[in-house]
Structure 1
Amino acid sequence: MLPTLTYLQFHLVFSLPVLALLWYLAPRYEATRQRRAVGGIAILVAIAYAYTTPWISYMIRRGAWGYADGAVVARALSIPLGEYLFFAIQTIVVAFALHRIGFDPTFREGDFDRVPRAAGVLVGLAMVPIGLGLAWLDPSFLYLGGLIAWVGPVLALQWGVGGGYLARTPRLWITATLAPAAYFWVADRIAIGMGTWYLSPELTTGIAVLGLPIEEMLFFVAAGVMTINGLVLFEWVLDWNDRRRAAADAVAGAGSEPERDVRGPESPADPDPDVVDD
């Protein structure tokens, strides 16, 4: 049996090497695109901490999952230090994978269509009562139901803003989500097998794929989707704003052209200058 890794050792073995590799392979953009890419990643990391911390803390305190003795160095709000590091590491790994795959944030006509935006909002909002209902229905749905309810508001907001763009680029965000998720599935399965962390059999469904609980699989997909959508929509909104400002400047420029001097009618020439009126 393999020795149990601490959470920090897990990062040294599984998280940081793939992060370093993706950083090395990340495309080098021109200055403006580079600033926007870095800014988007920084914002998404901050959001990940703000939005994920309360949910993770609640789930740990409820006992949905736990950690092996000696696997955790320090905790804050019941969350291990390694878990806090994972918030940033996963977000950055997904971001680097997205930029390595590549995406076009160009705004196009139709991106503000109401149908995909409204549909996305309705689905996202419906996930909240569905998830909470599952968690209330049976303790074994606590993790699954809590996950669904946690993701719903974010998806509703993202689709409400850029549902038209997301609807026309499904291959992008599906591929960019599943590629890093597949890696984390493997790493998570190894960590569970080694006993670094474990899931409560009473607060999970017990459904697993090759030993990996379905809740963990869905978590990495959900976190990836929220990150991908946030990153692409951040740059898409900036592109839309650039185009809007350029159009406004063009209109303002056309309206402020200096008026040309218009000559009045000239006096008719004297038909015979040598003739003098008496």
Structure 2
Amino acid sequence: MTYFGFLAVFVVLPILGLWAVALWDTRRGIGVPAHLRSWHAHWIVLAHVIVAVLYTTPWDNYLVATRVWWYAPELVTGLLIGYVPIEEYTFFVLMTLLTGSWLLLVVRHKPEQGPAPRQPVRFRQLSTLLLFGLWLIFVAILIFGWRPGTYMALLFAWALPPIMLQTAFGADILWRYRRALLLTIVPMTLYLSAADKLAISSGTWTINPEQTVNVLLLGRLPIEEFLFFFIVNVLIAFGMTLVMSVESKARAGRYVVALRNLLSRKQAVEIGSE
């Protein structure tokens, strides 16, 4: 199976199906709930596509350059940007569109918010602290050079910093949308992992067994690949939910005002000391 063939069957067709459902929902008057309309949903998806490409490109190039994974040359067009074929960059874009479109489907039909944590500030702090501890573990694996843990450590060392930013800003907001997030992250992770298994089985790409822990799911899928789709879906779903949330927009506005006031006071002190 060629890489573009894989994308056409397993990613493009589902996206078109989700867009058709979105159009049908629009005609029936079913839209994103008011509490998730801080910005237009389509612009939010586009912004996440841009971020996904910019943030993933250097990391993925490093993976290919160090032979964590490789592609079959005869199954790609041969057009490379850095070490990575153009098909891979296309996957960055399409996966973000797929998960983003699925999340929008979920919130259109399951718009309910759950209760907030009793101590939202403490909840944000503890969530971020736990993720930071996990990040340190994977950084240590890279520092000490445990080769079988390379792919997993690179994955979490790359993905956890932006997730920590998300939880530090709005873990309590994300908790309120936990049902929609669960209904997005779990199905998308399972679906893309199953598709990935087929691509690996057909030789479209290969994961280096020397740089994985050699735990295979369904007999062929490295657990690192499952975790990759899980963590990327977390990034997309968390990010989109926070940007869509009216509560997030109000909180960000308060932070901006507080920062401006702080800078104004600092400037006043500097002028007074002259």
Question: Does residue 250 of structure 2 align to residue 241 of structure 1?
Answer: yes
**CA shift at 1:168, angstroms?**
3.1
Q: 1:188 matched to which residue of 2? A: 196
What's the TM-score, normalizing by structure 2? 0.80
- Identify which of 14, 18, 26 aligns with 2:14: 18
Q: Matches of 1:13 and 1:99 in 2, distance apart?
A: 21
Q: Secondary structure at the match of 2:209?
A: coil
| Partner amino acid, structure 2, of 1:186 | A
Q: Secondary structure at the match of 1:198?
A: strand
Query: Do the aligned residues in 1 keep the contact of 2:115 with 2:176 (CA within 8 Å)?
Result: no
Question: Does residue 56 of structure 2 align to residue 52 of structure 1?
Answer: yes
Q: Matches of 2:97 and 2:118 in 1, distance apart?
A: 27
Q: Matches of 2:211 and 2:50 in 1, distance apart?
A: 29
Q: Matches of 2:119 and 2:93 in 1, distance apart?
A: 31
Q: Matches of residues 59-138 of structure 1 in structure 2 within 5 Å? A: 59-73=63-77, 74-102=79-107, 104=111, 113-135=120-142, 136-138=144-146
Change (3 A) 1:21 1:96: same
Change (3 A) 1:201 1:52: same
Alpha-carbon displacement from aligned partner over 1:177-202 (angstroms, at most 9, x marks no partner) = 01111111111111100001011111
What's the TM-score, normalizing by structure 1? 0.79
- Deviation above 3 Å: which 4+ runs of structure 1? 29-35, 103-112, 237-240
Query: Do the aligned residues in 1 keep the contact of 2:114 with 2:176 (CA within 8 Å)?
Result: no
**CA shift at 1:234, angstroms?**
0.2
Flag the structure with higher helix content: 2
Q: 1:177 matched to which residue of 2? A: 185
Change (3 A) 1:76 1:111: farther
Q: 1:202 matched to which residue of 2? A: 210
Alpha-carbon displacement from aligned partner over 1:24-65 (angstroms, at most 9, x marks no partner) = 112433899496211210111111011111111111111000
> Structure 1: which 5+ runs fail to align?
246-278
Q: Percent identity?
A: 28
Query: Do the aligned residues in 1 keep the contact of 2:113 with 2:177 (CA within 8 Å)?
Result: no
Q: Secondary structure at the match of 1:206?
A: coil
Larger Rg: 1
Q: Matches of 1:225 and 1:37 in 2, distance apart?
A: 18
Q: Matches of 1:94 and 1:38 in 2, distance apart?
A: 13
Q: Secondary structure at the match of 1:66?
A: strand
> Structure 2: which 5+ runs fail to align?
255-274
Q: Secondary structure at the match of 1:205?
A: coil
| Partner amino acid, structure 1, of 2:188 | P
Size of the alignment, in residue pairs? Answer: 241
Q: Matches of 1:114 and 1:140 in 2, distance apart?
A: 38
Question: Does residue 230 of structure 2 align to residue 221 of structure 1?
Answer: yes
**CA shift at 1:123, angstroms?**
2.3
Question: Does residue 33 of structure 2 align to residue 37 of structure 1?
Answer: no
Query: Do the aligned residues in 1 keep the contact of 2:116 with 2:176 (CA within 8 Å)?
Result: no
Q: Matches of residues 140-179 of structure 1 in structure 2 within 5 Å? A: 140-179=148-187
